[in-house]
Structure 1
Amino acid sequence: MKMGNYSIFVGTVGQGLNISSDSGDTWTKIRNPMPSESNIRALRTYPDNPHRVLAGSDGLGLFRTEDNGLTWDSVDSPFSDLQVWSVAVDPGNPDTIFAGTRPEGFRSRDGGKSWDKLDMGVNMDCPIGTPRTTNIIVDPRDSRTVWAGIEVDGMYKSLDGGDSWLHLPDLGPDPFHGDIHGMALRTGDNPAFYCTSPFGIATSNDEGESWDYHYFPKFSEADARSYCRGMVIKADDPSTMFVGNGDFIPGVTGAVQVTRDGGQSWEKADLPVEPNSVVYWLANNPEMPNVIAAASLFGYVYVSEDGGNSWSKLQKEFGEIRALAVTPN
């Protein structure tokens, strides 16, 4: 039974952006300025204000709300003809925004009034066509360090705020080891960087110079591998992480994999209804770290209000989900 007082944002392919301001009981479809049948692939809350949220679209650029999703404005940008796959906000200076596009990305230093194109040097000879920048993280330890994950071209890192980029060592022998789906950075006494791919979750303890892979169990012996997509680190406990998992993409079943010891051991979350596809994305918010949301690619939304110990499935189902966010009311 849900008890919290929070909002859930669901970005879809073909059903636009849907928002519940009552923890998932009732829903509103946003119709202006983003069309109700648009594709929303990226959602990002501001680190200094959880009621400010950015949404990235296919071919419509960026949108922003200042009031927890009640009203939205278009953010002028030079990439409104591209797919936006990821959005990041500098935790040290929220006027600095990054948008990961297909391909490469853009940076604004003035809250979205003007933009610079990021010349990352991504390999355009990609097995899936034009590569996608699926994740960008501005390092909270030093905002000059920016991390980017490419589908399919591995990890890139900037040490000068995005002006120039380094291609980090390969995550594994197969090109699809570097098919980056999710990313997270653990700070503190034992920092680590994490990436997910079709193979599993990769960990680097040396700032991206080397990687160790963890491979989750296959759902069936006939599966090529155990596929992974999004991931989050619990905001108040860096030893607790959640990974979206499934048999393949889009898949016919999935799971939320959970670790509470920094990745040394994993177990499947006890979801009340078996996912109908890979668990594609997850969301958490520092303002309410015990609320975890997860979504299957084909429209199921799950919520935990006790840090992942127990889960409920929302009654509302969607078509194809690509992005999630949770915010306090």
Structure 2
Amino acid sequence: MMSGNYTISVGTIGGGLSVSPDGGESWNRIRNPLPTECNIRTLAVDPNDRHRIYAGSDGGLFRTDDNGSTWEYVESPMDDLQIWSVGIDPDDSDTVFVGTRPNAFRSRDGGKNWEELDLGVRMPCPIGIPRTTNIIVDPRDTRTVWAGIEVDGVYRSLDGGDNWTRLPDLGPDPFHGDIHGMAIKPGANAAIYCTTPFGISTSNDEGESWELHEFPRFHAEDTRSYCRGMVIKPDNPDVMFVGNGDTIPGVTGAIRRTRDAGGSWDAPDLSTTPNSVVYWFAANRHLPDVMVAASIYGYLYVSSDGGDSWDKLQKEFGEIRSLALTPNS
């Protein structure tokens, strides 16, 4: 694969953060101020600054303004918490939400000051203390903020994060509320999407009801087809990709794609079969035909044709949990 004019950032468990400034051809291990063996569970690109990325770790929040070349520590009350998600207001980059375990924090001044938000998450859950795995500031109305909880379903705020409401269950099993990935499809046929261990659930009524789509099982003895991250193609909201596998971490996986907003699904070609569940994706509206995906056990895939085909990079990692894709110019 030829190197691209974009940067890939990879966050790992136990292996810190690595950055490739040439589309995966060469890699730099970040050593300062992030510890080289830290856990990076989330990477979020500022929707208003294509070169700014937030990294959430078990030791606090970090930020780069130069595509990952240099990083700075963001002082916050989250240094002793697991950071699982970051959401940035698309109308105001100074408003940043950080999902932790179990609740969330908000800054209105670009990270100078923080306040803890009480989502009302129910404890304990089947995994102990729930995790706020996704926070999305709704681009249709930025006063609306969505939070996906592992394991406690979907919460929504209509006043910028001051007050929260738990939305109806996605299904009868507690793990229907084990939210892994979330996305919002804007437009006339707006939808909210969530992935769980059971598949991808769709709501066309702002989270008041949900319809589940299950993917094919990999083995006859499997009880379900596990799903993790998902992403909507930046230039076509009818095209979505879901990370899939036999279980977590699993021994094999796939990428599932829809080109008609979930009406039908296929599995794009991958140059190498995944060695575990496909865990996460990265896309960027400035690079509409480039996408990145990762298996949880270190395989990294890049598509340069809008997701039709995916090439595995030579570089492999330990346990990948987060990805970011940013243009170099």
Paired with 1:326 and 1:133, the residues of 2 have a C-alpha distance of 22
Aligned counterpart, 1:224: 223
Structure 1: give runs of 5+ residues left out of the alignment.
none
CA drift at 1:272: 0.6
Post-superposition CA distance 1:125-152 (Å, at most 9, x none):
2100110000000001111100000000
- Residues 37-76 of structure 1: pairs in structure 2 closer than 5 A: 37-58=37-58, 60-76=59-75
- Residues 1-329 of structure 1: pairs in structure 2 closer than 5 A: 1-2=1-2, 4-58=4-58, 60-329=59-328
> Is the 1:2–1:305 contact (alpha carbons within 8 Å) kept by the matching residues of 2?
no
> Is the 1:230–1:282 contact (alpha carbons within 8 Å) kept by the matching residues of 2?
yes
CA drift at 1:224: 1.1
Paired with 1:235 and 1:156, the residues of 2 have a C-alpha distance of 24
Instruction: Kindly report structure 1 stretches of 4+ aligned residues shifted beyond 4 Å.
Output: none
> Is the 2:17–2:36 contact (alpha carbons within 8 Å) kept by the matching residues of 1?
yes
- Aligned-partner SS, 2:51: strand
Paired with 1:113 and 1:78, the residues of 2 have a C-alpha distance of 11
Paired with 1:190 and 1:4, the residues of 2 have a C-alpha distance of 34
- Aligned-partner SS, 2:81: coil
Moved more, 297-306 or 2-11: 2-11
> Is the 1:97–1:109 contact (alpha carbons within 8 Å) kept by the matching residues of 2?
yes
Post-superposition CA distance 1:154-192 (Å, at most 9, x none):
000000000000000000010101100000000011100
CA drift at 1:3: 5.3
Identity within the alignment, %? 68
Equivalent AA in structure 2 for residue 111 of structure 1:
G
Equivalent AA in structure 2 for residue 212 of structure 1:
E
Equivalent AA in structure 1 for residue 224 of structure 2:
R
Paired with 2:290 and 2:123, the residues of 1 have a C-alpha distance of 38
Paired with 2:102 and 2:2, the residues of 1 have a C-alpha distance of 40
Paired with 2:141 and 2:252, the residues of 1 have a C-alpha distance of 39
> Is the 2:52–2:64 contact (alpha carbons within 8 Å) kept by the matching residues of 1?
yes
Paired with 1:203 and 1:214, the residues of 2 have a C-alpha distance of 8
Paired with 2:219 and 2:263, the residues of 1 have a C-alpha distance of 23
Paired with 1:309 and 1:125, the residues of 2 have a C-alpha distance of 42
What TM-score, normalized to structure 2?
A: 0.99
Paired with 1:286 and 1:48, the residues of 2 have a C-alpha distance of 11
Paired with 1:79 and 1:37, the residues of 2 have a C-alpha distance of 18
Q: CA RMSD in A?
A: 0.7
- Aligned-partner SS, 2:236: coil
Paired with 1:72 and 1:3, the residues of 2 have a C-alpha distance of 24
Paired with 1:168 and 1:289, the residues of 2 have a C-alpha distance of 32
Post-superposition CA distance 1:260-317 (Å, at most 9, x none):
1111111112101000000000110011111110000000000001101111100000
CA drift at 1:4: 2.7
CA drift at 1:2: 3.4
Paired with 1:257 and 1:267, the residues of 2 have a C-alpha distance of 6
- Aligned-partner SS, 1:177: helix
What is the number of equivalent residue pairs in this alignment? 328
Paired with 2:2 and 2:176, the residues of 1 have a C-alpha distance of 38
Post-superposition CA distance 1:20-69 (Å, at most 9, x none):
001001000000000111100000000011100000001x1100001111
> Is the 1:138–1:147 contact (alpha carbons within 8 Å) kept by the matching residues of 2?
yes
> Is the 2:3–2:24 contact (alpha carbons within 8 Å) kept by the matching residues of 1?
no
